[in-house]
């Protein structure tokens, strides 16, 4: 069985070819990208240990993203209503711009500047990654293109409006399913031809190994904060903790779990919640929960939704940020190492979770992505003991989903 090494960040537990567990990840890239990828790898490994770069990063992460850590709060009403476990939320949606994607956006902008490039490109599904990159690009004086599936430009209009307001150019992608998977494909094609002047910031812990590492290194800020907050709240890390996080590409989940990797599963359990799509559809975006086979997508080997001939399958989810056929090599590694477990919840489950959480808790307004995780918390909390601590990463704000929520639920928060 694959084993996780203690004392070494998971992002660094790959072999010389960028494979975690000997089979997940790697860099399946065209020859024209080998030098840009190698250059980026050298630069990142050098800068992540550079004191000046780290000071700048710490300033932005600890002051500009949010004044101090994003909130860690007990959901008292939800806990009382459900009974059983004590339910808490790490409200990462309080970060500047409303989601965890701001950490990766800042790192990408800093790398772009340090590498002497003036142009930044990225992909987006839910629109939060594009929005965060537009905020960072504007602040750092960079020009930005955001590739986004046409279907997603329609269902996530509020974030599109924000990107345009910040001066970003949105490039709608009309190929394939017109969702995140197609946006990632197109932004990579663009970078092949423009990598000499342009830096690519990948929106999640996916693609070639270096992009997995950069994104994971950035979002680990979430668990760095949470660990301190839990010790402040409980005096120590409690004996029974379950950390719940939605999983699409997997960046926010890795961010929530990173600093707790060395704890035993019995003490700190990781539960990833994927998107199982509508109840009346056979399509889903849950490769881990549905035991999908190993395949290659966007430069990395991973478990991926595919048909009998090995072609990438279409996916379906109410949540644009989870609507992706693959998943981070890090999560494939965690699944096979049995350090994390993965389940899937439907569109309808997420909508019902949104209704209940926002009805009972006034300080939180989770987007449809984390609502999948809240749905799982609602399911399991009553069955757990009162000394069990459930922590859900509320990684995005529902403002972007207002049109969908209004259509499906009527009156919304």
Please state the domain extents for the chain: 34-61+101-216, 68-98+220-409
Q: Does the domain at residues 34-61+101-216 carry the CATH identifier 3.40.50.1100?
A: yes
Of the candidates 105, 163, 117, 161, the residue with the CA atom closest to the CA atom of residue 142: 117
Beta bridge partners of 271: 244, 341
**Whether 142 contacts 112, CB under 8 Å:** yes
Of the candidates 153, 146, 108, 95, the residue with the CA atom closest to the CA atom of residue 126: 153
**Whether 124 contacts 320, CB under 8 Å:** no
**Whether 355 contacts 409, CB under 8 Å:** yes
Q: At what angle do helices 402-409 and 347-360 cross, to 10 degrees?
A: 100
- pLDDT tens for the chain, residues 1 to 413: 789 999 999 999 999 999 999 999 999 999 999 999 999 999 999 999 999 999 999 999 999 999 999 999 999 999 999 999 999 999 999 999 999 999 999 999 999 999 999 999 999 999 999 999 999 999 999 999 999 999 999 999 999 999 999 999 999 999 999 999 999 999 999 999 999 999 999 999 999 999 999 999 999 999 999 999 999 999 999 999 999 999 999 999 999 999 999 999 999 999 999 999 999 999 999 999 999 999 999 999 999 999 999 999 999 999 999 999 999 999 999 999 999 999 999 999 999 999 999 999 999 999 999 999 999 999 999 999 999 999 999 999 999 999 999 999 986 66
| Residue whose structure tokens are 């399991």 | 380
**Helix (DSSP H) and strand (DSSP E) numbers for the chain:** 15, 14
For position 1, what pLDDT does the model report?
75
CATH, domain 68-98+220-409, list 3.30.470.20, 1.20.59.10, 1.20.58.110, 3.40.50.1100 = 3.40.50.1100
HSE of 308 in the Cβ direction (CA atoms, 13 Å)? Answer: 0
For position 108, what pLDDT does the model report?
98
Rg (CA), the chain: 20
């Amino acid at each position: 069985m694959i084993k996780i090494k203690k004392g070494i960040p998971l992002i660094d537990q790959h072999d010389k070819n960028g494979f975690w567990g000997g089979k997940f990840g790697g860099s399946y890239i065209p020859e024209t990208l080998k030098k840009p990828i190698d250059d980026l790898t050298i630069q990142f490994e050098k800068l992540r240990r550079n004191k000046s770069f780290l000071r700048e990063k710490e300033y932005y992460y600890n002051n500009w993203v949010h004044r101090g850590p994003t909130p860690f709060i007990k959901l008292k009403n939800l806990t009382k209503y459900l009974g059983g476990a004590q339910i808490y939320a790490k409200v990462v949606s309080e970060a500047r711009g409303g989601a965890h994607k701001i950490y990766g956006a800042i790192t990408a902008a800093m790398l772009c500047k340090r590498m002497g490039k003036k142009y930044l490109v990225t992909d987006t599904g839910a629109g939060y990654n594009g929005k965060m990159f537009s905020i960072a690009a504007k602040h750092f004086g960079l020009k930005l293109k955001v590739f986004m599936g046409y279907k997603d430009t329609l269902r996530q209009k509020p974030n599109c409006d924000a990107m345009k307001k910040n001066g970003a150019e949105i490039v709608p992608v009309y190929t394939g399913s017109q969702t995140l998977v197609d946006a990632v494909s197109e932004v990579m094609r663009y970078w092949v031809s423009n990598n000499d002047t342009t830096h690519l910031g990948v929106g999640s812990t996916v693609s070639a190994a270096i992009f997995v590492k950069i994104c994971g290194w950035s979002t680990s800020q979430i668990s760095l904060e949470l660990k301190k907050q839990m010790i402040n709240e409980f005096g120590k890390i409690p004996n029974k903790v379950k950390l719940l996080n939605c999983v699409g590409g997997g960046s926010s989940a890795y961010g929530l779990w990173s600093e707790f990797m060395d704890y035993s599963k019995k003490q700190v359990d990781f539960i990833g919640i994927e998107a199982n799509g509508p109840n009346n559809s056979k399509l889903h975006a849950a490769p881990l929960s549905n035991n999908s086979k190993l395949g290659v997508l966007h430069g990395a080997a991973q478990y991926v939704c595919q048909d009998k001939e090995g072609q990438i399958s279409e996916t379906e989810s109410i949540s644009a940020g989870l609507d992706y056929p693959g998943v981070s090599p890090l999560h494939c590694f965690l699944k096979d190492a049995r350090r994390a477990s993965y389940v899937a919840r439907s569109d309808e489950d997420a909508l019902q979770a949104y209704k209940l959480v926002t009805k009972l808790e006034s300080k939180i307004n989770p987007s449809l992505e984390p609502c999948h995780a809240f749905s799982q918390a609602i399911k399991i909390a009553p069955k757990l003991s009162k000394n069990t601590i459930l922590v859900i990463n509320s990684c995005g704000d529902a403002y972007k989903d207002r049109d969908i929520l209004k259509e499906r639920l009527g009156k919304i928060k």
